[in-house]
Homo-oligomer: A and B are copies of this chain.
């Protein structure tokens, strides 16, 4: 799989269209028709739905609007595969996506093929104003769904007591280098600018670039490791209300949470834990970043960590401004060393010990921040139906930064804002600590 996913970051639009679209199919390739059909929880979607909805995006927002005389593949699909765009019309209920067995997978693939041909024709001609941007948006949208395909499939397979494997683990990925010792990288703060400043693609929620005032702070050199998390569990971290937000403590007790999602007690493993992954059930990787934790857990860990180091400024989550300001300065190097989708690992890896400095800002695991997901000052949603893309979700969610081992390389940016509710755990989500200087 690695070779196939090894894409250059920027291509001509038509080539990029082809590359992104075929990467989606590659991700679905190891799955049976049945595995592309099932929806394992309301938050997840069937792979077939992802294949269809990403196609719906191009048909609805590009072809139907910008190709005169365009006729849809099937008019019923406009409602059936609309996710949440009220401006486009009605939607099939989200929790019932898995019940739509027809159109079958072959029909959805045929639809993809027809739309791809129509898009190729369009992209071969001079584009009307704004269309290139819409196509790029569609590709970025499809890349988000690529990551969701992987996390949704992981969740589905995790529901099977037989612990099936999405792709076998290559021997080279089973080794366990030692984790780099955690360092605190100091930052002076001050009045800094965050938000997208470039001329390339960015989502509306990354704009406008604006000033924020930061106190001096320090960021951990790497994310919290699985071994550190095992120590948190062993110390009774999930059973002590001191570490938890009030709502987090209610959640821990009601849901009986006692470990990251996909961790399983193992009598046969010396660490006492195994981790279910896209590679099947595997030993704990003490030196790799912990993954599949919710915000409540990240926040609780920071408070526990602070109590273990009473002489230091208390550990906490970084704000997204602290995170982005720090990342801006080292982003090219971070990308160069990153474990993103194209690495083919499909799971977080231990950081290479290269003599210090910031590691793993890009890739491996999304990093929960202390920042609720809100509009930047001066934020304006895009005009038209795509204005529903980001703005209407700016409440009751927390920002994650940096991308994961399931994020395509041409999709991630230092200014990229991912967001999920505090109890979401099925994404590749981890945590990097911060503290006041």
State whether the Cβ of A156 lies closer than 8 Å to any Cβ in chain B: yes
Does A356 interact with chain B (Cβ within 8 Å)? no
Check A102/B164 contact, CB under 8 A, given A33-B33, A213-B213, A215-B210.
Answer: yes
Cα–Cα distance between A153 and B214 once the two chains are bound (Å): 44
Least distance between A281 CB and chain B CB atoms (Å) = 14
User: Is A35 in contact with chain B by the CB < 8 A criterion?
Assistant: yes
In the complex this chain forms, how many copies of it are found?
4
Question: Known contacts A34-B36, A164-B102, A378-B215; is A395 also within 8 Å of B159 by CB?
Answer: no
Q: Is the CB of B370 within 8 A of A372?
A: no
Q: Mark A41-58, 1 if CB is under 8 A from B, else 0.
A: 000000010000000000
Checking B32, B159, B191 against A99 with a beta-carbon cut-off of 8 angstroms, the contacting residue is: B159
When distances are taken between beta carbons in the complex, the residues of chain B under 8 Å from A244 are 392
- Nearest residue (CB) in B for A74 is B162
Main secondary structure of the interface of A (DSSP, over half): loop
* A92 close to chain B: CB less than 8 A: yes
Which residue in B33, B164, B371 is a CB contact (below 8 Å) of A34? B33
Please encode chain A, from 236 to 264, with 1 for each CB lying within 8 Å of some chain B CB and 0 for all others.
00000110111111000000000000000
Taken together as a complex, chains A and B put the C-alpha atoms of A32 and B214 apart, in Å, by 54
Q: For chain A, which range describes its interface: under 10, 10 to 19, 20 to 34, or 35 or more residues?
A: 35 or more
Contact B395 A86 (CB under 8 A): no
A104 at the A/B interface (Cβ < 8 Å)?
Answer: yes
Contact with B along A361-383 (1 / 0, CB 8 A): 00000000011101101101000
Are A101 and B374 closer than 8 Å at their CB atoms? no
Contacts of A80 in B (CB 8 A): 161-162
Is A40 in the interface zone, CB < 8 Å from B? Answer: yes
Q: Contacts A34-B34, A86-B241, A378-B215 given: A248-B164 contact, CB under 8 Å?
A: no
Report how far A319 CA is from B374 CA in the complex, Å. 11
Is the pair A161, B396 in contact by a Cβ cutoff of 8 Å? no
Contact B191 A245 (CB under 8 A): no
A102 contacts B160, C-beta separation under 8 Å: yes
| Interface set of A (CB-CB < 8 Å, partner B) | 32-38, 40, 48, 76, 79-80, 84, 86-87, 92, 96, 98-105, 156-157, 159-162, 164, 191, 210-215, 241-242, 244-249, 295-296, 299, 314, 319, 370-372, 374-375, 377-378, 380, 392-396, 398, 422, 436
